[in-house]
């Protein structure tokens, strides 16, 4: 531990000295570019998550956006890029953890009084390492959260489409069920009407039999009437014949009577 402390003191003294000014500037510039890229990535993640959480954009629209041809072309590289970014962020996070542990040692805090300039320099290093730790940690966390949010949006859109399809099927099923119920009611009515029709048919059959019976009786009566009319006509004819015969006989009687009276008058005159 003493050896590590001495090496750190030498390194910081070399960086502070004028001889190592260019090398220190180059080292800080590289780290600044590196962590600036990570911070920019973190800001991009925050912006994307805020856009994904906008309430007026539905999951169906996001799914339609995710189905663009550009994303389909990049789909084969998405998993590789995701894993690569996770590995990079994990490495940066572990490096930041190492830096924090290195610059937050108790021994350095106790022996920092040996060189007054080293105290502020160590705290600056500790602040930067903690900042890098937070940036890399939140970048890694939000990267995983963003992937999960995208997956949940796709699942929500799929579930919504499935729900709409199931609702449509349920409505169609209800309509079909209503139609079947109406058909069943119509069949029941038809059966009831059929039963009523059978009763009516039976009544009609009885009525037909009665009508046939009455028709037969009417025919018999008609025949009897015709026979009676024929007999009446015959009787009328006989009566007319008798009347004519009676008139003829009456005329003959009058003639004979007149003749008899004439004979009697002739006899008296003689």
- pLDDT tens for 124-173 read 888 888 889 999 999 999 999 988 888 888 888 888 888 888 888 888 88
Confidence of residue 185 (pLDDT cuts 50, 70, 90): confident
Task: Output the pLDDT for position 244.
Answer: 78
- Residue 112 CA to residue 121 CA, distance in Å, equals 10
pLDDT at residue 13 above 70? Answer: no
- In a domain? residue 11: yes
- Selection from 55-64, 141-150, 204-213 with the highest mean pLDDT: 141-150
Residues in CB range of 142: below 8 A, 6 or more apart: 42, 45, 46, 49
pLDDT in tens, 61-70: 887 777 777 6
Query: Structural domain of residue 128, as residue ranges?
Result: 2-161
* Alpha helices (runs of H) in the chain, residue ranges in sequence order: 2-16, 21-52, 59-66, 69-103, 106-111, 116-269
Q: Supply the mean pLDDT for the chain.
A: 75
- In a domain? residue 214: no
Task: Output the pLDDT for position 196.
Answer: 63
- In a domain? residue 87: yes
- In a domain? residue 130: yes
- In a domain? residue 169: no
Cβ atoms of 44 and 146 within 8 Å: the answer is: no
- In a domain? residue 146: yes
Task: Output the pLDDT for position 174.
Answer: 82
- More confident position, 264 or 223: 223
State the total domains in the chain.
1
- Residue 215 CA to residue 213 CA, distance in Å, equals 5
Cβ atoms of 40 and 141 within 8 Å: the answer is: no
- In a domain? residue 204: no
Taking the model in full, what pTM does it have? 0.52
Task: Output the pLDDT for position 140.
Answer: 92
- In a domain? residue 21: yes
Share of the chain above pLDDT 70, in %: 74
What are the φ/ψ torsions at residue 81 (nearest 5 degrees)? -65, -35
């Amino acid at each position: 531990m003493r050896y590590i402390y001495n090496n750190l003191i030498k390194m910081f003294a070399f960086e502070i000295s004028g001889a190592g000014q260019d090398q220190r500037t180059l080292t800080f510039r590289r780290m600044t570019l590196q962590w600036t890229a990570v911070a920019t990535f973190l800001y991009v993640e925050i912006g994307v998550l805020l856009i994904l959480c906008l309430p007026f954009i539905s999951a169906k629209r996001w799914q339609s956006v995710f189905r663009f041809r550009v994303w389909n072309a990049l789909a084969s590289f998405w998993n590789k890029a995701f894993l690569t970014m996770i590995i990079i962020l994990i490495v940066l996070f572990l490096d930041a953890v190492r830096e924090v542990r290195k610059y937050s040692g108790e021994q350095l805090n106790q022996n920092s009084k040996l060189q007054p300039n080293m105290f502020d320099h160590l705290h600056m290093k500790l602040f930067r390492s903690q900042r890098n730790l937070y940036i890399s940690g939140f970048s890694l966390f939000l990267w995983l959260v963003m992937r999960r949010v995208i997956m949940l949006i796709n699942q929500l859109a799929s579930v919504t489409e499935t729900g709409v399809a199931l609702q449509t099927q349920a409505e169609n099923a209800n309509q079909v069920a209503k139609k079947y119920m109406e058909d069943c009611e119509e069949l029941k009515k038809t059966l009831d009407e059929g039963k009523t029709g059978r009763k009516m048919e039976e009544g009609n059959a009885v009525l037909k039999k009665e009508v046939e019976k009455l028709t037969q009786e009417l025919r018999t009566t008609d025949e009897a009437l015709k026979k009676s009319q024929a007999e009446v006509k015959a009787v009328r004819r006989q009566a007319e014949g008798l009347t004519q015969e009676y008139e003829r006989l009456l005329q003959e009687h009058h003639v004979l009577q007149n003749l008899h009276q004439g004979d009697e008058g002739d006899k008296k005159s003689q």
